[in-house]
Chains A and B, each alone.
Chain A
């Protein structure tokens, strides 16, 4: 059997996989917009009208309008709009924080910047995996043809699936050690760490304002306990040594 006369169900299977991939890529783009939606939702919850002055409310409203315009731009989906949206985003979150809520504003700026950064880097990583997926599907027809050429044609879905897995692993092995993939992966993990750190800052602020213990406080207690345990162990060791010496001295005296 050659590649041209392979059964039509193999084409159908490839077509199904491609269509799934397209949907998945559309979702990945949507995630960029989600970052902004989350930002807006957080802002809305945090700055409730009951706790704010009219001036502060007006600032928040103009901020929300800016965010909405960013989202509208991103929704158009083309590269130019994404770039413009990204610039607007930088404009909003790069503004020097002022006034009574300066510290809070700074924390939120850092958090939302970290969130946006992470989403961008995660999206790049997911794109890398999507490329592996695409490549794996592209490799299948060739492998099917090669098998047919040596008299081992694909006869059922299980065999086709095994071929695809093999192609997938080969496609992944090709990129797994490439500098660009390694960098994309590290960038995503490092961005996630920065996001978590920014999240901690917000959480600790909230915990302190409610007189609840924070992780930083627990860390300093645990560090203190660790150093005290080490000191106790050292003292116990010295005590055992001294007791041994004392015993030896006593037994000498008896003799």
Chain B
């Protein structure tokens, strides 16, 4: 190994880095908090820890309380995942899928599953689909005075929406799935590979609910060098840009706002979906009812991200093979699992969704 000599240029580089470090620490110290999920909304239904929100019209900013407001544009009910929080869909005013849909005149409803705790550890797919989702759909139908809803399922929420639509096809007019896993055992699915030999029954017996920290650890380990090191080192590049730092903090606030997963649901989801791939095999049973994707005959709009490392494109793209819809459209978003909501290119996504729904209103 050669002798280590520093020349003046390298000393200056180290000094510059120290200055950047100081500037970064100063800026971070000045950012007290950042807000996410700020689009005005009202709770229209509550059950246990679940809240069903209806977003206020972006033009009128009208509250639904005390009198329900009329919106003749199509409504869409968003079913988010149980992993992380739905604030991703409204991370900041200029990067918000929800505001994008509102700007297109959509009447937007969203299911927020809340933060399950120890008392919820026995909730399973039956509770989430046959009770919570069913009751939310019922409420939206009542509020809108319509017999069917347009359902938009996001990530794991997309899988739940597929199950719901397969079980209650008469209640869903149009179905939209975004980065939703369908085939859980595609060759490029790293998460599936890792979960193959997991003793999920023991995990749930040991931990009750599965903590957000556990899931986060798994997610960051999928790209350990980038997500545990480079991501934070890159802060030095934006040390002098408060606005960009705040954007970073918003994302960080969202990523590490991680609800627990109800133990029974987690066990069922990992075992039935990841380990046995029952959704595409047609062997999934929820509360004695078989979930058959072939029952889905309504129009389906399937959006996936080409660079998605959590839900590989192949896992979502295969949906068309298993459903009976004659009206099926796919949109390949050139980006990652999160970029589909918050990147600059993502601004087109709500426009595409609204357009597709209006054509089928």
A136 touches B225 (CB 8 A): yes
**B-contacting residues, A174-203, CB 8 Å:** 176-177, 182-183, 185-186, 189-190, 192-197, 200
- By DSSP majority rule, is chain A's interface helix, strand, loop, or mixed? helix
Bound complex: CA of A157 vs CA of B226, how far in Å?
17
B194 touches A185 (CB 8 A): yes
A186 touches B198 (CB 8 A): yes
Which A residue's beta carbon lies closest to that of B124? A226
Q: A172-B224, A222-B122 are in contact. Are A8 and B206 (CB under 8 A)?
A: no
The answer, among B5, B13, B196, B206, for a CB contact under 8 Å with A193, is B206
A8 touches B224 (CB 8 A): no
Q: A9-B4, A193-B203 are in contact. Are A219 and B121 (CB under 8 A)?
A: yes
The answer, among A172, A225, A233, for a CB contact under 8 Å with B131, is A233
**A-contacting residues, B172-198, CB 8 Å:** 190, 193-194, 196-198
The answer, among B2, B205, B224, for a CB contact under 8 Å with A168, is B224
Shortest Cβ distance from B16 into chain A, in angstroms?
Answer: 9
- Is B282 interfacial (CB 8 A cutoff)? no
Q: A11-B4, A197-B202 are in contact. Are A169 and B226 (CB under 8 A)?
A: yes
Which B residue's beta carbon lies closest to that of A192? B206
Shortest Cβ distance from B8 into chain A, in angstroms?
Answer: 13
Q: A8-B4, A196-B207, A219-B121 are in contact. Are A168 and B225 (CB under 8 A)?
A: yes
Interface size class of B (residues with CB under 8 A): 35 or more
Q: A183-B197, A193-B206, A215-B208 are in contact. Are A11 and B226 (CB under 8 A)?
A: no
Q: Which residues of A contact B196 (CB under 8 A)?
A: 182, 186
Q: Which residues of B contact A136 (CB under 8 A)?
A: 225
B13 touches A156 (CB 8 A): yes
Bound complex: CA of A153 vs CA of B142, how far in Å?
66
A-B pairs, 8 with minimum CB distance = A168-B225, A196-B206, A186-B197, A12-B4, A193-B202, A193-B206, A8-B2, A190-B199
Chain A residues packing against B (C-beta within 8 Å)? 8-9, 11-12, 15, 129, 132, 136, 156-157, 161-162, 164-165, 168-169, 172, 176-177, 182-183, 185-186, 189-190, 192-197, 200, 215, 218-219, 222-223, 225-226, 233
Q: A169-B223, A215-B208 are in contact. List 14 more A-B contacts (CB 8 A).
A: A8-B2, A8-B5, A129-B224, A165-B226, A169-B226, A172-B225, A182-B193, A186-B196, A186-B197, A190-B197, A190-B203, A219-B121, A222-B119, A226-B123
